[in-house]
Amino acid sequence: MSVTNKPLSNPEKTQGQVSSVGSTTASYTGAPIPEFTKILGDFSLTTYKFEDGSSGIALYNGKVAFHIDNNNNMIFTAGSPSQSGCGGKMVMSSEANIQKSGSVSIEVTGRPDDGEVKKETTGDGNISETKLPAYSLKVYGDILIECVGGDVAIKGDNISLNARNTLNLTSGKDINIQAGQESGKININAGTVDLKSAFFNRDITGGEYSKGTGESSVEQYNPSAKTSISTPGSIKYTVNGDYEVGVTGNYKQIVNGNYSIGVDKDFALTVGANYSEKIQGKAKTLISGLKSKPESSQQETYILELGAAKSKADSFKIKSGSGIKAEATTGGFVAEIGKQLGKLELTDKEFNLTVGKNLGKIQLTQKEATLSFGAKNKVSVKPDRITIEATAIYLN
């Protein structure tokens, strides 16, 4: 290496070279005035001053430079890569690196060709190309980033966090996630999602949809817990299997509109205590008696069974504000009390009334009216005659 110390033969040229070495945000007062230059092989070492007395020094060769300017800035400048794509890098290698400064600002402008491409030759002789990022940080070990008394902001077109094992997000207070301006989307793909919270609030202005083959279960352990649904619209349940509701307390339904129940098969109602029904309008019960599947063993269309009342009260009582009408298109009407205690039969052809064990009887047919008591006492009234049969007749 040759070292030459000589006076400046072309101060204007050297002045322009020094002015172009590196770049800072400081503003200069006038142009730098070179004072001393040494030629170190292909490099030049120049000291300079400004009119205000400040000075600096620069080591450069037109491609790379090391510059300490008059504002106490240290500037490292690496040149452009060669045609092979190598070079133009600043490489630091040390056992440890400690930096302490008031502030650190890094600006990565990227390569003009939109990123560096890494080329590798595969085993079959093909060349694979990988686009390298403009800024890359690779650490073998742990990374700790701590901001004391300030905020941390990360911004980019797309941000990816990739954890090989567990990704933990911990906050001393709140965690806010916002996707777009009310039009974004949050996707969560997981085998299991566990949520543990004191309160879970959902404010949904659009719709809430769930689909899949999994089960849905809600378990509440607090006896005072409450589940409430309030909607100005409609609620619809479509259950292809069984539907069961178990209530240990009270069960109440309030319907301001129509209330309808449609059952294709059997319907059963069991009340363990008292039963009360109040209809402020009119009521109609239609029992068609059609065959059902599976077919019932019951022959009668309608059966009403009443237990015995307390004391001498009636088991069945009807109170009507007007007349009562019973109509049978075929057959008739039969009312029976106990075994041979009383019986009332009414058909389209005759009327029979039987009372007591001795079979006191009144019978009306289209041709005859009969009043009898026992087997030997009988009064018969026909259109043409009256017949009396008795063991004894008393006339007073």
Q: What is the end-to-end Cα distance of the chain in Å, rounded?
A: 172
User: 46 has which bridge partners?
Assistant: 37, 58
Instruction: Reply yes or no: is the peptide bond before residue 11 cis, omega within 30 of 0.
Output: no
Fold held by 332-396: Glycosyl hydrolase fold (2.20.220)
C-alpha 71/C-alpha 355 separation (Å) is 131
Amino acid 133 reads P
Which residue matches tokens 């539907």? 243
**pLDDT for the residue 368:** 92
C-alpha 110/C-alpha 113 separation (Å) is 8
**pLDDT for the residue 144:** 92
Cα 121 to the center of its chain, rounded Å: 50
Residue 86 has pLDDT above 80, yes or no: no
**pLDDT for the residue 26:** 41
Strands 3-5 and 377-381: unpaired
Angle at 107 between CA 104 and CA 110, to 5 degrees: 155
Domain boundaries along the sequence of the chain: 1-80, 332-396
The residue ranges of DSSP E strands in the chain, in sequence order, are 3-5, 33-40, 43-49, 55-60, 65-68, 74-77, 116-121, 127-132, 332-337, 342-347, 350-355, 360-365, 369-373, 377-381, 386-389
Where does the pLDDT of residue 83 fall: very low under 50, low under 70, confident under 90, or very high at 90 and above? low
194-236 confidence digits (pLDDT tens): 999 888 898 888 888 888 877 888 888 888 888 888 888 899 9
311-348 confidence digits (pLDDT tens): 888 888 899 999 988 888 888 888 888 776 788 888 88
**pLDDT for the residue 128:** 76
Amino acid 188 reads I
Residue 37 tokens read as 């230059």
DSSP conformation letters of 225-244? -------SS------SS---
**pLDDT for the residue 142:** 92
> Which residues 6+ apart lie within 8 Å of 344 measured at CB?
333, 334, 335, 336, 352, 353, 354
Residue 5 has pLDDT above 50, yes or no: no
Where does the pLDDT of residue 166 fall: very low under 50, low under 70, confident under 90, or very high at 90 and above? very high
Cα 83 to the center of its chain, rounded Å: 57
**pLDDT for the residue 154:** 92
Which residue matches tokens 């290698």? 93
Where does the pLDDT of residue 297 fall: very low under 50, low under 70, confident under 90, or very high at 90 and above? confident
Question: Which backbone phi and psi does 45 adopt, to 5 degrees?
Answer: -115, 120
Where does the pLDDT of residue 45 fall: very low under 50, low under 70, confident under 90, or very high at 90 and above? very high
Contact 18, 48 (CB under 8 A): yes
Average of per-residue pLDDT across 38-55: 90
Share of the chain above pLDDT 70, in %: 88
**pLDDT for the residue 165:** 93
CA distances for 108 relative to 134, 136, 396, angstroms: 7, 11, 139
Contact 354, 360 (CB under 8 A): yes
